[in-house]
Amino acid sequence: MSERIELVNNLVKLYDTTLRDGAQMEGLSLSVDDKFKILRRLDQFGVHYVECGYPASNPKEAEFFRRLPGVELKNSIPIAFGSTRKAMIGSDKDKGLDELLRAETQAVCIVGKTWELHVRTALRTQLDENLYMIADSVEFLKKHGRQVIYDAEHFFDAYKGNARYAMETVKAAVEAGADWVCLCDTNGGTLPSEVKQIVREAMKEIKIPVGIHAHNDGECAVANSLVAVEEGATMVQGTINGYGERCGNANLCSIIPALALKMDRQVLPPEKLAGLTELCHFVSEIANIKLDSHQPYVGQKAFAHKGGLHVSAVVRDSETYEHVKPELVGNIQRIEVSELSGKSTIVVKGNELGTDLAQNPDKVQEILDMIKEMEYRGYHFEAADGSFELLMRRSLGLQKVFFRLESFRVIMEKREDGSIVTEATVKVHVRGKRIIATGEGNGPVNALDSALRLAIGRAYPELDDIDLEDYKVLILNPEKATAAVTRVLIESGDGEKTWGTIGVSENIIEASWQALVDSIEYGLLHKKAQPER
């Protein structure tokens, strides 16, 4: 009865499975400590349920659940994940169910077969036995005091193939005492119109709260989750940043603001929602996977404006080109600069630096002309916000100098055994001292970065927090072969924000140096390091 009252109050429970289903993403590997860091951050954010893993799968998961009781959580209920018992054995003899109990979590989630095809080909058992497996497993876990969430695997494919049997599997879980039934689009190929119709029909027969678990193979996981909520689902399962196997799971970072801001569903206190962007960046850092800059709501480009007409409009009223206010999800509006920029873009950028350029149209035109001329030569400032800010500061006399280059040299040596050694030497003046430093690296840029950090690191300990995260090279006129102009883009970060810098030259090392120096100077500037002048 209480769950039905929650539905009336528009409450939707958030169920995060980043630590289990999300961790199946290719290239993603989380240590036990990584998982605890993410769990604590999800708890701070206010996620209702966090699926922590499959205790029986490997020693790392077993260690996690051994340590879990010592972790104090304020908002999240941790979930141990498993499956129904094996065919033709009792639940009390099933090792998987025993591991779920040994995990000692307040709630568990078990997945069961719903699709006739899977029962016959994967389980290789009879349809009736599958129903007994579901019921026995749920009843066994309830008898041991667990809250049980039953995930009906492949439910939508199953329903389209044999609706009667699909519903029999769900009813077996319900009648055995399950607290939730979650309908899964495991293959991720169901369309929103199908999800809407099937959930509507299923809800007529399911008398306990219903959830939705969608995969993104058809690029519909978010839409499918939202239409399921429209039809009465009160739990949404998904992952941070949409991590998951194949094409990923439903992205909670898009679902949460859509529910809260567009569908008037109660998911989090409003002040928690403003931490969404920070949460997404935190998880991407732990996962060591670069956050998609174009990701809705939380991406760096989500509220970025480039064209002059767009910029002019959003300055007057952001609603003209923004579907929600970026600060509601903890993001910010970004005005990007390119050859398409108008004068209003330059004025906005000046305001960000504390200079009112509206009263200085000549300077605005000067900066605009300079940008267009530089982009004609190959610069690309919309992807290099750090370099553009430094350019603006130099033009306005606001530049802060952290060091002065005297010279640099790069030497690469290929040895008889096939090994390659790259060495860079830089000579710089910093805080009144001439410093010479040599660094080695796996390439010229890495070696230059190492040498420069050695040279100025003692004067600027803030460098320890600044990392080069990405390096891209583009040949602008390949028809000129080795004499072609090269554009280098570097992305850097300090754990809280990221910025791009650029260099352009016929010499790839010089282009890289330009971008590298800008990346460090921008980072030191925003770390409030004390400059030379």
User: Which ranges of 50-126 would DSSP assign to H, the alpha helix?
Assistant: 59-67, 95-102, 116-118
The one-letter amino acid at 322: E
- In 3D, which of 389, 435, 400 has the Cα closest to residue 531? 400
Structure tokens at 28: 């993603």
- Would you state the structure tokens that stand for residue 182, as one six-digit string? 């979650």
User: 91-100 long-range contacts, Cβ below 8 Å, gap at least 24?
Assistant: 91/136, 91/137, 91/139, 91/140, 92/140, 94/137, 95/56, 96/56, 97/137, 97/140, 97/141, 99/55, 99/56, 100/55, 100/56, 100/141, 100/146
What fold, for 404-526?
Double Stranded RNA Binding Domain (3.30.160)
* Residue spans in the chain of domains classed CATH 3.30.160.270: 404-526
pLDDT at 341: 55
Provide the token pair at 245.
């196997």
Write out the DSSP string of 124-158.
Answer: -S-HHHHHHHHHHHHHHHHHTT-EEEEEEETHHHH
Q: In whole angstroms, how far apart are CA 45 and each of 10, 76, 109, 268?
A: 19, 9, 22, 8
| C-alpha to C-alpha distance for 255 and 295, rounded to whole angstroms | 12
Number of helices and strands in the chain (H, E): 19, 16
Report the pLDDT value the prediction gives residue 34, as an integer from 0 to 100.
Answer: 93
pLDDT along the chain (533 residues), means of 10: 46 97 93 94 96 89 94 96 93 93 96 92 89 97 97 97 97 98 98 98 96 98 98 98 97 97 92 92 86 88 66 62 86 62 72 83 86 82 83 89 95 87 95 94 92 95 91 80 83 85 93 95 90 71
Which part of the chain has CATH 3.20.20.70? 2-268
Its sign, for the CA torsion 30, 32, 37, 41, is positive
Q: Which architecture, in CATH terms, is 2-268?
A: Alpha-Beta Barrel (3.20)
Distance of alpha carbon 74 from the chain centroid: 24
Instruction: Please give the pLDDT value at position 9.
Output: 59
Token pair for 8: 């009336």
Rounded to whole angstroms, how far apart are CA atoms 156 and 253? 24
Amino acid present at 102? R
Burial class (CB within 10 angstroms; exposed 0-12, middle 13-18, buried 19+) of 494:
middle
